[in-house]
Structure 1
Amino acid sequence: MSHPSYTIVGAAILDILARPVDASVFAAGSVPAETVALHTGGDAMNEACVLADLGADVHLVSKVGRDPAGEMVLHACSRRNIDAAFVGVSSDIPTGTNIVLVDPKGERSFITAPGSTLRQFYPADVPDAALRPGGILCFASIFVSPHFGNRELAFLFSKAKAAGMTVCADMTKRKKGETVRDMADCLSLLDYVFPNYEEAALLTGESDPDRIADAFLACGTRHVVIKAGSRGCYVCTPDRRFWSPAYARARCIDTTGAGDTFTGCFLYALGHGLPTADCARFANAGASLCIEQTGAVGAGKDLQEILKRAGL
């Protein structure tokens, strides 16, 4: 069977990671860290890297600055065979750079630069040529780009639908108190949505996973995949819902990019025609590899280990 191309839309930045780091740094002024590393990051870049490492045909739609950080992002795309033809380069806006502090349990805190490309990505930066007929589009992630609200996303998703694409979206925490009703137009066009539990609970105002899923399904979303960390994920459709457990023997050192890795792996399995339950198992397995290393990317380089952990 032929496999689709993937168009991944969103942020491509640099992450400066330090681990382990806790609040004592603010009192001490200087603390040693086991690891200080520079990696590419951003929701779209992370998902694109996972898919490319797995051998998929990936097209990244993003924006970087004309600066050393932007050059590093573009070089990483070239090295991984990610098509960067739709990555705009701005002479006026610096490439987004995050400082990521990872605590001893692997949880992260971010310091971001609002004036960078991370927050200066616009609907005009997504050309129609990037919407490839029959492919899979993933907007990664809702609420990261402030210029993509409900109306702008609905317009983009409608165009992707018209091109015959499967339309998906990842998500981060809402920024302005948005509710699921505020986002109903764009959510109605999604074939798959991938919020984590906290993001979904905030958006829907619900705490029970079934009621969270019902809120998305009521908008017209066809598949709701709630990422739940060590619990795995909860998958809901109008006809079926089930828990898919996480890989139990993973050793967590850094959760940076785990959600993006999950989504990238799910999309890969989906594009290869796997049933929804197997897509969830494959995604959980990929995320388990991600949390065992520092940084957001790299888990997709070991397809056989993902398949082994997924039991596929």
Structure 2
Amino acid sequence: MVPLDVVTFGEAMVMFVADHPGELQQVSRFTRRLAGAEMNTAIGFARLGLKAGWVSKVGADIFGLCVKELLEAERVHIGAVQTDRRHPTGFQLKSKVSEGDPEVQYFRKGSAASRLSPGDFREDDYLGARHLHMTGIPPALSPETREYSQLVLKRMKQAGRTVSFDPNLRPSLWSSRGEMVRTVNSLAVQADWVLPGLEEAGLLTGSTDPHRISEFYLSQGVRLVVIKMGAEGAYYRSETEEGFVPGFPAAEVVDTVGAGDGFAVGTVSGLLTGLPVRQAVLRGNAIGSLAVQSSGDYEGYPTADRLEAYIQSYLNRSEATYANR
């Protein structure tokens, strides 16, 4: 059992990103990258110097090898990754855009990762970590992964570990909106820290008012709610404090995918290292800003030194602006 700071689980896919703008069916050249929300966060945590582990299944194919080789290169612990010789590693196609969100087409049905089931759960894969970060994506992949997600969360809470939960809603993977809302909320309310985006929080709680959203989760036992509000910043609330942290200006928005995962990396890593909530959320905003300025889902995630320099530069500019008023 390798001692870890944080562990996560989910599906990783090979991603083919269009080399030029246009409809996906008209694109002839693509660049190969990797994608997957939980994989993104594992890489982000590792780059900041945390010992991060990622649990999943991949196929016995070249795509599975790509996933494992990249994560090893990023110093993510993958000893818990299982190889499924009957089902493939999923992949996706992603368009290139000059503004807005890109089009993504998935080829993941029946993938190895979607076959994770309670029978695959091994305590040694998780209990060596002091924190679990999870999203609402694995529960959407199949009934088996839903049961697996519920089991992982239950065992980690029973063992006294802290848990952060990012809903990361994927409505197209669910049979109905009602099922999605019920299932995701049933997991979220068991977490210590919940990090929804404002729009998805509206779907989950019926309100887009940050105060009401936070009350919905705090009243059910969650300790901290942090609501992502895009470029504007983020709102946070616990039983003892409440506030808003402005976002970092981005010099150029290249790709918005991965920004939310980057925000989770910054915020959760800050909390795990004992920072006050406001400073942790500031880190989340900073990594989200860096993420949108880079092509790819995780490529813009910083090292600890780069993150500190980026935050300090922003704070210095803010102080100079205030002083010159």
Instruction: Work out whether the TM-score is over 0.5.
Output: yes
Secondary structure of the residue aligned to 1:16 is: strand
Cα distance change of structure 1 residues 253 and 300 upon mapping to structure 2, 3 Å threshold: closer
Q: 1:73 aligns with which of 50, 56, 67?
A: 67
Deviations 1:5-61 (A, max 9, x none): 111111222121226635xx37xx63588xx42212101111111111122111111
Alpha-carbon distance, 1:258 to partner? 1.1
Secondary structure of the residue aligned to 1:112 is: strand
Stretch of structure 1 that moved more, 184-193 or 223-232: 184-193
Distance 1:13 1:205 in 2: 32
Equivalent residue number for residue 215 of structure 1: 216
Equivalent residue number for residue 44 of structure 1: 38
Stretch of structure 1 that moved more, 141-150 or 226-235: 141-150
Alpha-carbon distance, 1:106 to partner? 4.4
Identity of aligned residues (%): 27
Q: 2:127 aligns with which of 126, 132, 135?
A: 132
AA paired with 1:38? R
Equivalent residue number for residue 99 of structure 2: 105
Equivalent residue number for residue 207 of structure 2: 206
Distance 2:6 2:208 in 1: 33
Q: Is the 8 A contact 2:101 2:256 kept in 1?
A: yes
Equivalent residue number for residue 17 of structure 2: 17
AA paired with 2:209? D
Equivalent residue number for residue 8 of structure 1: 8
Distance 2:293 2:45 in 1: 18
Q: Is the 8 A contact 2:49 2:304 kept in 1?
A: no
Cα distance change of structure 1 residues 20 and 195 upon mapping to structure 2, 3 Å threshold: farther
Distance 1:296 1:129 in 2: 29
Cα distance change of structure 1 residues 248 and 59 upon mapping to structure 2, 3 Å threshold: same
Equivalent residue number for residue 166 of structure 1: 162
Stretch of structure 1 that moved more, 198-207 or 100-109: 100-109
Cα distance change of structure 1 residues 32 and 154 upon mapping to structure 2, 3 Å threshold: closer
Distance 1:159 1:220 in 2: 17
TM-score by length of 1: 0.87
Distance 2:157 2:167 in 1: 19
Deviations 1:51-84 (A, max 9, x none): 1112211111111111111000010121112111
Whose relative contact order is higher, 1 or 2, with alpha carbons under 8 Å and at least 6 apart?
Answer: 1
Alpha-carbon distance, 1:151 to partner? 6.4
Alpha-carbon distance, 1:304 to partner? 2.7
Equivalent residue number for residue 309 of structure 1: 310
Q: Is the 8 A contact 1:13 1:45 kept in 2?
A: no
Distance 2:56 2:252 in 1: 32
Distance 1:268 1:109 in 2: 30
Distance 2:44 2:266 in 1: 7
Name the structure where strand makes up a greater proportion of residues: 1
Secondary structure of the residue aligned to 2:111 is: coil
Q: CA RMSD in A?
A: 2.5
Cα distance change of structure 1 residues 40 and 183 upon mapping to structure 2, 3 Å threshold: closer
Q: 2:110 aligns with which of 107, 115, 121?
A: 115
Equivalent residue number for residue 300 of structure 1: 301
Q: Is the 8 A contact 1:232 1:244 kept in 2?
A: yes
Distance 1:276 1:263 in 2: 13
Equivalent residue number for residue 96 of structure 1: 90
AA paired with 2:64? G
Deviations 1:214-253 (A, max 9, x none): 2222322221111121112221223322221111144210
TM-score by length of 2: 0.84
AA paired with 1:162? Q
Q: Which consecutive residues of structure 2, in runs of 5 or more, have no partner in the other structure?
A: 316-325
Alpha-carbon distance, 1:282 to partner? 0.5
Distance 1:183 1:300 in 2: 27
Distance 2:19 2:121 in 1: 35
Equivalent residue number for residue 282 of structure 1: 283
AA paired with 1:124? G
